[in-house]
Amino acid sequence: MTNTSTGIMESWFIIMVTFCISFFLILLFNLFFQKTKKLPPGPFIFPVIGMLPLLRKTSRDLELMLRDFKRKYGPIIAIKIGYSSPSIVISSHLLAHQALVQQGAICSDRPIASTTSKIFNSNQRTITSSSYGPTWRLLRRNLISEMLHPSHIIKSHSKNRAWVLGILIQKLLLAHESAAADSATEAIMLLDHFKYAIFCLLVLICFGNKLDEFQIRQIKDAQHRALKSFHRFRILDYFPEFLGKTIFRKRWKQLIELRKELDEVFIPLIQDRVKYKLEAVGAPKPGIDHRHKEEELEADIAYVDTLVNLELPEEKRKLNYQEMASLCGEFLAAASDTTSTALQWIMACLVKYPSIQEKLYKEICQVVESTPLLQSIKNNKVIEEAVKEDDLQKMPYLKAVILEGLRRHPPAHFVLPHRVTEDMELNGYVIPKNATINFMVGEMGLDPNVWDDPMEFKPERFLVDGDGTLQEFDITGSREIKMMPFGAGRRICPGYGSAMLHLQYFVANLIWQFEWKPVEGDKVDLTEGSDFTVTMKNPLRARISPRCCMGSL
């Protein structure tokens, strides 16, 4: 027994020594190899030991750390973690354009997905996670052409937006009545109302059905739990999969259960939609004109409908239900929190700066001929008297307010990381193959070399001086990058046009329907906090006053 134990200990000792020697040989080899290339400057972080403190930091802490590195090392930083490929962080507009646009073909891949990520993205079969190749092109092209084409965004979902706007205004009115009973503040907490409305709209676009509030919150809660819990599983990614499953058995089991919970919410909705479309088409009956019905079905297209017949080009098969669930989850997650966060920031600035709010209201009144009819929201009916999508094109100051909100308070301060597929030169440095690159979006919008008084909220910076017309400004960054709230280049957010439309639509209607004022004795606090997005540390509270008689609810 003793000899056996001794033999086992000796075997483990030999394995550990071999592992350590191999590790340091690889480390020395890579350090020597990297010294032959002129990498960007930056701190060296030792593997394992140096990584452990980083795992405990919030995204806000990491951003502050990177700001310190920027001051010390400049606008392009290489963070070298032992023998791994360096992580490059860029805070320069010019360098971002060179990387994402001028050398976009080299800089458009994604890092190889971690073990935990593959569980949620069905082994990299979502748009954000897919490698730069045929599958990514198929999924992205499908989303843009079938769902996010400008004509489709405006026309196909106009009634959906009006329905959701009715829900939002009804909730605000009820909250206003409730707050009015509290004469001390009359304050309304707004973020939850914004989140619910945006999520309602996206669920409707995704699944094609008007779900009840219980179902909406069930989807929202399941997805929120997954997003909030994701950081708990990051430790699994720093070990080989078999070792992580052994050491962290309970955590691995929780990860699988969380994915199962998402599937149990999404897959029945997908199956119901598929069944509905099949039954709606039905078999043609003689003597009946089906053209009108077919036109209605084409107009009533949901994201799920576009996924059913997609065929993965590299595998020559259709998507399974779990993969469709991952894509639906991505659709909701990518747009819900970011849009509602941006909406809160913009409305907070309009509350904080009443002169800007008043100027915007006057512009809306010049375009919209009718007056707000808040009584039309009884029983969640579609609001007929609202600022329409066509009206938005006639409001340059509205768009300037939205652009300034995205510059000053982008909902994400970093884009998703990119991976370099071959050695790339940038600013005299070599970015080696397989290095990851990220971009400090928040810093770019505050660069004093690009923006005058960058800390001030001034929508007029996007207007032609003395004219009131909108300056030509490319939010995609294809010509030049001044700010990139949606990213830039080939991996730019495919929903940027939809997000701009929804922000303009909801801001215009909220300002048209209500006057927004700060809570007495409580200044609007624009301090940033950190959640899934960069939200307000102290969520917006405000007093609202209907701009006309609202009738009886």
Structure-block tokens of residue 177: 């009545």
Residues of the chain with pLDDT under 70: 1-36, 45-58, 81-84, 182-185, 281-299, 370-385, 466, 548-553
Cβ-in-10-Å burial (0-12, 13-18, 19+) of 8 comes to exposed
Mind listing the pLDDT tens digit for each residue in 323-381? Answer: 999 999 999 998 899 999 999 999 999 999 999 999 999 999 999 876 555 544 444 45
Query: Which residue type occupies 232?
Result: R
What dotted CATH number matches 53-546?
1.10.630.10
pLDDT at 44: 73
Q: From CA 477, how far away is CA 76, in angstroms rounded?
A: 19
Q: Which helix (H) or strand (E) holds 296?
A: helix 291-299
Select from 384, 351, 421 the least CA-distant residue to 190.
Answer: 351
What is residue 553's predicted lDDT score, i.e. its pLDDT? Answer: 34
Q: How far apart are the first and last CA of the chain?
A: 83
CA distance 214 to 303: 21
Joined tokens for residue 455? 């800390």
Whether 250 and 256 have beta carbons less than 8 Å apart is answered as: no
Name which of 74, 406, 121, 149 is nearest 259 in CA terms.
121
Tell whether residue 206 is among the known ligand binding residues. no
The distance of Cα 75 from the centroid of its chain, to the nearest Å, equals 25
pLDDT score for 27: 52
Beta bridge partner(s), residue 89: 77, 438
Q: Which one-letter DSSP state was computed for residue 486?
A: T
Q: For residue 475, give the amino acid letter.
A: I
Residue 20 pLDDT = 52
User: Which ranges constitute the DSSP H helices of 353-395?
Assistant: 354-367, 389-392
Cα separation, 69 vs 78, whole angstroms:
10
Comparing CA positions, the residue from 33, 93, 130 lying closest to residue 432 is 33
The answer to whether residues 426 and 485 touch, using CB atoms and an 8 Å cutoff, is: no
pLDDT at 304: 96
Residue 425's SS3 state is strand
pLDDT at position 177: 86
pLDDT at 537: 92
Answer whether 134's CB lies under 8 Å from 314's CB.
yes
pLDDT computed for residue 35 by the predictor: 52
Total-model pTM: 0.87
Report phi then psi at 344, rounded to 5: -65, -45
Helix (H, G, I), strand (E, B) or coil at 509: helix
